[in-house]
Amino acid sequence: MRVMAAARTAALIGAVGLVLAACGSGGGSAPGGGAAPPAAQAYAGPVGKGEGKLSVLAWPGYAEDGSTDPKVDWVTPFEQQTGCQVTVKTFATSAEAVQLFSTGEYDVVSASGDASLRLVYGDRVQPINTALVPNYADVIGELKDKPWNTVAGQNYGIPHGRGANLLLYNTAANPTPPTSWKNMWDPASPAKGKISPYDDAIYIADAAVYLMSTKPELGIKNPYALDRKQFDAAIALLQQQKPLVAEYWADVVKQGQGLASGSLLEGQGWQLTANLANADAPGKVGTTKPTEGATGWSDTWMVKKGTANINCSYLWLNHVVSPQVNAQIAEYFGEAPANSKSCALTTNKDHCTQYHAQETGFWNNVYYWTTPVESCVDGRTDAKCIPYDEWVRAWTQLRSS
């Protein structure tokens, strides 16, 4: 998931095989049938003195303590300020995050939208009292009270940052930047045999985004809320795509090298991929958000239900979403920060422009990863949607056929 300055990527890649995606298959069941989440109460507060320790489960780059790069460290200042000694465990996929957090060994986790509801309905996390996180007031409204971080009107975490899954392309083969995903899906695509889709069940949503535009008669309003007919149409489109595919990607470095060399002509991926590829071969890889829209991601910091370190947990939530620290993380990692005051504090003054952090219109047709559930997240009450477990089964079958 995402970026750091190009010179720093080797260390992070070595740590995780470079963050596959903020979405992994398996690792827990999604809720179904419209059931309410397990009963739980948010911490009443007030937040007091820390308990002395905090165990953090995070995407690499979200809880840096100077061990990856001595110049990159927002954990040590937190320890000095609060007395909460932090241990950090990183993970490479959402599936791994859900599995690890389910052990009960960690106090807080940075969960992507395809994992967060699994943690809520799995009774692993507690509601959050946002009044006890002062910096929450400065989180942009577009990330608050969303289906991946809020259930039945109750917040279950603090938004961290966001990004879009873009169309990446080889600039030599596309002197005019493409404006559509068409070449990723059309059987007659000029990029046939040289496209690179994302290798995960959540990619089914990308097919649904394209169908929203090209087959409006299907009535898809949200790519994570697919009834049987809509889901089957998405799977059929993915099957149609298979002959076009050179490789389903899980490694941003490898994908970027392929796009730069021309062995790949187009792919779905991240700005990070282009940044890394262009660091070695400037201008070889372009990015765009096509007119049909795109999937995307927004991560949420969540707290273990029943944690003994509740004060340290809340102090951490406030720390990582503070203007200064959120700016550091966003710039190091390669994302748009959640805190509205962070853009003024990035070292690279073009960072938020590159990541469209303050361009409300850019995000209007970015559909953030959300765990698919039977109770349709598009608001329908007269239909059942296909839950995440079935997405995983269908994807596994597609990839093995």
Q: What string of DSSP letters covers 264-280?
A: --EEEE-HHHHHHHHHH
Burial environment of residue 44 by CB neighbours within 10 A (0 to 12, 13 to 18, 19 or more): exposed
**Cα dihedral sign, 66-70-72-76:** positive
Give the pairing type, strands 154-155 and 150-151: antiparallel
Nearest-CA neighbor of 197 among 264, 150, 136?
264
Per the structure block, which two tokens stand in for 303? 């707290």
Per the structure block, which two tokens stand in for 135? 């910096």
Spatial separation of the C-alpha atoms in residues 134 and 150, rounded to whole Å: 18
Spatial separation of the C-alpha atoms in residues 327 and 321, rounded to whole Å: 9
Residues with Cβ within 8 Å of residue 30, at least 6 apart in sequence: 117, 118, 121, 371, 372, 373, 387, 388, 389
Q: What is the pLDDT of residue 59?
A: 87
Q: What is the pLDDT of residue 271?
A: 84
Furthest-apart CA atoms within the chain: distance in Å: 63
Q: What is the pLDDT of residue 20?
A: 39
Provide the total of helices (H) and of strands (E) in the chain, helices listed first: 12, 13
Q: What is the pLDDT of residue 35?
A: 60
Sites in the chain below the pLDDT cut of 70? 1-35
Spatial separation of the C-alpha atoms in residues 326 and 331, rounded to whole Å: 9
Q: What is the pLDDT of residue 31?
A: 53
Give the pairing type, strands 336-337 and 166-170: unpaired
pLDDT tens, residue by residue, 341-351: 999 999 999 99
For the chain, give the number of residues.
401
Cis? peptide before 46, omega within 30° of 0 = yes
Nearest-CA neighbor of 389 among 374, 368, 367, 377?
374
Nearest-CA neighbor of 333 among 63, 56, 23?
63
